[in-house]
Amino acid sequence: MYADEFAEQNNVETLLSELERLHHHYEQQPLPVTRQEFENRSMLYHILEDMKAFLDIKKDFITAR
């Protein structure tokens, strides 16, 4: 399903938009209560930030062509 969206010619605007929507969704969730919930949310946040960095690099690569 998402394989085409990572294709070299894709400008990733859709993926960045979906990532922003997902980030906003998690901001609306209640704060973690337990340490395990906090650690899980922390890992998820880190993954989302890494994905955003990857997509930003890809976007810059596509627009520089």
The pLDDT value given to residue 12: 85
pLDDT 10s digit of each residue in the chain, 65 long? 566 655 666 778 888 999 999 999 999 999 999 999 999 999 999 999 999 999 999 888 888 87
What is the rounded distance in angstroms from the CA atom of residue 21 to the CA atom of residue 44?
14
CB 52 within 8 A of CB 18: no
Domain ranges of the chain: 4-63
pTM: 0.76
Please classify residue 12 by burial: count the beta carbons closer than 10 Å to its beta carbon, then call 0-12 exposed, 13-18 middle and 19+ buried. Answer: buried
The pLDDT value given to residue 22: 93
The pLDDT value given to residue 64: 82
Q: Classify each residue of 46-62 as buried b or exposed e, where b means 16 or more C-beta atoms within 10 Å of its C-beta.
A: eeeeeeeeebeebbeee
The pLDDT value given to residue 15: 87
Tokens 């938009």 sit at which residue? 17
